[in-house]
Every structure is written in C-alpha cells, then in structure tokens.
Amino acid sequence: MFLWQAGGLSSSAIAQSAHRLVVPGLSAQALAQAKARVTSKDARIMPAYSKLLADADSALNAPLVSVTQKSTLLPPSHNKHDYFSLSPYWWPDSTKKNGLPYIRKDGQTNPESKRDLDQPRVAAMGANVQTLALAYYFTGDEKYADRAAKQLRTWFLDPATKMNPHLRYSQLVRGNPEERGSGIIDTRWFIEAVQAAGLIDGSKSWTAKDKSALQSWFKQYLNWLLTSPNGAHERAAKNNHGSWYAAQTAAYALFVGDTARARKIASGAKERIGWQITPDGTQPIEMERTRSLHYSGFNIEALSRLAEVGRQLGVDLWNYQSPKGGGLRRAIDHVAKYLGSTEKWPGQQIDAIDPSLFVIHLRRAEERYHTDEYEKAIARLPHDLTSSDRSALLYPDPN
C-alpha cells in the first residue's frame, strides 16, 4: 500500500476509495493514488489529467458507433448485427484477374480493411468509453458517465444496434470462405469496455439493470470464445494472438464474476510465457515479423494486462520466471533498452515506431518492480509525450 498523502487524503482514505472500485485489469489502488494527486494538483500528474479531460471533451462530441452502421459491406450472414472485418495484411493477388484469393503482406495494412467495417468502429468505441469513464472517475462529472453509458448500451445492449455475441466474421480474407479465429484479436477493445463499466458503476447514468444486462452479454460472448472452433484456434496461437485471447477471456470472466475461470486462465499463462520469452527477454515468434519491435511490445501489452488481472486474483505473472529463465520482466527490460536509444533494434521494423505505445509498459513495470531503471528509459523519450500520457494516471510514479 502506498503511504503517500496529498491534500489531506490519508493512505487509509485512498485504500477505502480503492476498495470500492473493481475494474478488471486496472489497479484500484493506483487509480486512487492518482486521484489523490489530482486533488492536490501534483505537478507530476496534472499534464496527463489535463490531456485526459481534453480527450474526454472530444469524446463527448464523438458520434456513437455500432456494428449496424455498415452500409456498403455486409458479413456473409447479411446480418448487420454480426461483427464484420477484413484481415488487414491481406491484399489482392496481382497475378490473378480478379485478385482472388487475397495474399498476405505482413505489416502492410490494406486500406480496404478500414473502410465501412467494424474494426475501426470497435477501436473508437473502446477508446472513447475508456476516456469518458476515466474522466468521470477523476471528476465525478455525470456528463462523462452519461456518454460512456450511452455508447456501451449502443454497442452491446440496445436491440436496434447491439452486436451479436460472436466473431464468426472477423478478419475474413477475400477469396477464402473459411472463418478465422485470428479475428478475435479485434475485440481486445472490449477490455476497455468492461473497465469503463466498472469505472462508472454507481453513477446515475449506469443502473444495476445496465450492469446486469452487460454481464449477461459478456457471459454469452465468453461462452462463444471458450467453446467455438474459432476460440480454440486462438487459444492455441503461440504468438500475441494467443496472449490477447487469454487477456480477453480472463478479463471477461472476472467481469461476469467467474473468478475461478479467470484465475485458471491467468495461471495458465505461465506456460505461455515459458515458450514466448527467452532468458535474455527476446520474443522469437514476434521477432519473425516485419514489425518485430511493434509486435514485441504488443505481446508485452497483452501479457501485462493478463498479469494485472492475475494480480487481482492472487496469480503473480509479473515475477514469474519459467524453468528456462524467461519472464515478463525480462521481456520488458529487453525492449526498454532500445527505446530512445542509439542502439539499433536487432529485428526488422519496416515502419516508424510510435514511442507512446511503449510508455505504459515502462510505467506499469516501474510501479510493479519499484526500480528507477524504467524511469531512466522514460526520460529518454520526448518529455511532452511522457508527461501527458494517460499511463501517468493509471500507474502514477510510486516515489
């Protein structure tokens, strides 16, 4: 427990605030700590708070999105309530008159996958509800909870616009009629949705009926993930897809109250860490990609989210080390030494890396391992970026 006090808020008051908050994959203690620092206008956290409110005000005016907004492209079922996306790295085959079947170009996004399909919409939904819910948590302003609740109801609950709880038509490939389990990664944004529901729980805008209905939806979706051939395919994936499947199913299980299942999923990730991460922190499967630094960080993000769920359930993935010597900390250390450094990343990376994608890894690790090594890595990155990054609110400096 943090012993820091701010604005007259004692550590016991922070602990009481944290005790009331249950959010899958987020530390209630860290959020309460950040809220206390906002109250005291702590300079270390105010840039991130100001940026959050600016983002939230933009999200207030963003249109509500749903899967039923498709107009030019429909899934094979022709049901707008079915989620539909195309796999982003697949392109027309120039050697074929009609371009079919599409061929894979790793790391190169086909713009077609972003047009009138549900993947951009689910990303907008997840980002907006998280932003609005966090703004409500830190300000208590009901307008943010109201908009977050409307977006959650639009995507998951309202009969006219809700998504059917499956992903049979996610990341399809033109010219290939087969369903693809790999599209399950699209709904990693649902983790933000269940977190947002936790953050606005108790507000006037989010009723007990809303909460129960959303839990019912996620029970159906979780069952599909756990029992469908699509889910079985993703569960067996050795790369980041398998990690994100585990992160999703654990978070949803915790959200619907199935703590035993969530704990089992988190504990099972130890085997995954063992085959994914070498003793020097390299992730060989992700290193095979054309965007190997990006995907190394992407897999760390999935495992870190899973580790946070595990921490809520007494499963310590943060400090786990496999019999061969690999572990999450070593993976973070390996990536961290290349961020903002003149040392060249040893793998292929065909596009520029956005350092903002990695700041949260460093802050999570700093909060978990209580070492200044990650603070030094953060200091190598642009200050304007790191000072206003939302991770400063989710994982405030413990010092």
CATH number at residue 69: 1.50.10.100
| 231 located within any domain | no
β partners of residue 136: none
Closest CA to 195 of 244, 123, 235, 137: 137
Same domain, yes or no, for 19 and 156?
A: no
Same domain, yes or no, for 396 and 264?
A: yes
How many folded domains does the chain comprise?
Answer: 3
Same domain, yes or no, for 254 and 396?
A: yes
Among 165, 186, 207, the domain-final residue is 186
| 215 located within any domain | no
Same domain, yes or no, for 100 and 243?
A: no
Same domain, yes or no, for 153 and 285?
A: no
Same domain, yes or no, for 33 and 71?
A: no
Same domain, yes or no, for 304 and 362?
A: yes
- The pTM score is 0.94
- Token representation of residue 345: 């990343």
Same domain, yes or no, for 382 and 255?
A: yes
DSSP state of 95: T
Same domain, yes or no, for 26 and 48?
A: no
Strands (E), the chain: 90-91, 103-104
DSSP state of 157: I
How many C-beta atoms lie closer than 10 Å to residue 287's C-beta?
Answer: 16
| 194 located within any domain | no
Distance in angstroms (rounded) separating the CA atoms of residues 238 and 289:
13
**Complete DSSP assignment for 210-262:** HHHHHHHHHHHHHHHHHHSHHHHHHHT-SSHHHHHHHHHHHHHHHHTT-HHHH
For the chain, percent helix, then strand, then coil, each to nearest 5?
A: 55, 5, 40
Same domain, yes or no, for 28 and 161?
A: no
| 226 located within any domain | no
How many C-beta atoms lie closer than 10 Å to residue 206's C-beta?
Answer: 24
β partners of residue 176: 173
Same domain, yes or no, for 251 and 398?
A: yes
Burial label, 270 (beta-carbon count in 10 A; 0-12, 13-18, 19+)? middle
Among 152, 186, 220, the domain-final residue is 186
| 88 located within any domain | yes
Same domain, yes or no, for 94 and 37?
A: no
Distance in angstroms (rounded) separating the CA atoms of residues 153 and 170:
21
Q: Can you give the residue range of the structural domain that contains 313? A: 237-399
Give the residue carrying structure tokens 């990054």.
389
Q: What tens-digit pLDDT sequence spans the chain (399 residues)? A: 222 333 334 444 444 444 467 799 999 999 999 999 999 999 999 999 999 999 999 999 999 999 999 999 999 999 999 999 999 999 999 999 999 999 999 999 999 999 999 999 999 999 999 999 999 999 999 999 999 999 999 999 999 999 999 999 999 999 999 999 999 999 999 999 999 999 999 999 999 999 999 999 999 999 999 999 999 999 999 999 999 999 999 999 999 999 999 999 999 999 999 999 999 999 999 999 999 999 999 999 999 999 999 999 999 999 999 999 999 999 999 999 999 999 999 999 999 999 989 999 999 999 999 888 899 999 999 999 999 999 999 999 876
